[in-house]
Amino acid sequence: MGDMMAGLQFENNCEVGVFSKLTNAYCLVAIGGSENFYSAFESELADVIPIVKTSLGGTRIIGRLCAGNKNGLLVPHTTTDQELQHLRNSLPDQVVVQRIEERLSALGNCIACNDHVALAHTDLDKETEEIIADVLGVEVFRQTIAGNILVGSYCALSNRGGIVHPHTSVEDLDELSTLLQVPLVAGTVNRGSEVIGAGMTVNDWTAFCGSDTTATELSVIDSIFKLREAQPSSIVDEMRKSLIDTYV
C-alpha cells in the first residue's frame, strides 16, 4: 500500500513540505482555510499514525520551523506554551517534544534527519547539536549540500533513501551517501524546483508532493524512496525491533 500522493496544494501553493511535517510516528499539518490539505493526509494515514493540526509561533510554515523523527520533535523558541502543550497532548508518549533556544530558529531548514542520522547547519550551536543527538537519538553531521548550508531545505530524507539538490556533484553525493548510509540521488521536485525539502515531505512508506511535480520527478521519488514495495505496518513493527542497516 506504499503510495505517493501527488497533486497536493495548500491554498494554491505547491510547496507541501512547508506546511506539513511527516515522520514515521506522526504527522503535523498546518491550519488552512479549507480542509482539502488535511483530508489528503487523512485519507492516506488516518489509521496508522496520528495527524495533528497545529501552528508554530502563530505561523503556518510549520514544516520549516520544526525538525523531528519517530523519537522526538524539536520546536523553535518562538513556539508558544499553548502550542507546546497541544503538541505534547496530541502526539504519542514516546515522542519527546522539546523547545530549544537557538539563534537559527527555522529548524526545518537547518536540520535534515531520519531515524538514525541527521545533517545539521554548519553554524548550529554546540548545545543544540547535543540536544539533537539526545532528543532525536541520531548521529549529527555538520554538512553542506551543493555548497548550501541550509541542509534541511535542499534535501528530503527518509530511512530508505534521499533526494538532494540537483547541482550536487558526484563526489559530494558519494560522501553524503556514506555518511547517511542510504542511497541518494540528485533530483528536482515541483517542475524543476531545487528546494526539495520544501517541495515534498516523505516517510518510509508515503510521500506527498506538490501539484506541479512532473511524472519524471514522481518516478524518481518512487524509485529512490522505494515506495512501491513499502507496507506501513511492517515498517512500523520493524523499527521497534532493531536498527536497519543498509549500505549504498
User: Which residues bind to another protein, rule: CB under 8 A?
Assistant: 166-173, 186-188, 191-194, 214-217, 219-220
Question: Checking DSSP bridges between strand 117-120 and strand 111-113, what pairing results, if any?
Answer: antiparallel
Query: Rounded to whole angstroms, what are the CA distances from 101 to 40, 149, 238?
Result: 33, 20, 34
Q: How far is the CB of 219 from another protein (least distance, A)?
A: 7
Q: Specify which residues 19 forms β-bridges with.
A: none
Three-state SS at 92: coil
Dmax (CA) for the chain in angstroms is 46
Shortest approach of another protein to residue 138 CB, angstroms? 26
Contact 28, 54 (CB under 8 A): yes
C-alpha cell at 221: 521519488
Residue 95 CB, shortest distance to another protein, in Å, is 35
Cβ 96 to another protein shortest distance, Å: 37
Measured from the CB atom, the residue of 105 and 168 that comes closer to another protein is 168
Closest to another protein by CB, 61 vs 163, is: 163
As beta bridge partners, residue 3 has 206
- Taking the least distance from each CB to another protein, the nearer of 115 and 194 is 194
- Smaller CB distance to another protein: residue 62 or 173? 173
Find the shortest distance in angstroms from Cβ 94 to another protein: 38
Measured from the CB atom, the residue of 159 and 168 that comes closer to another protein is 168
Length in residues, the chain: 248
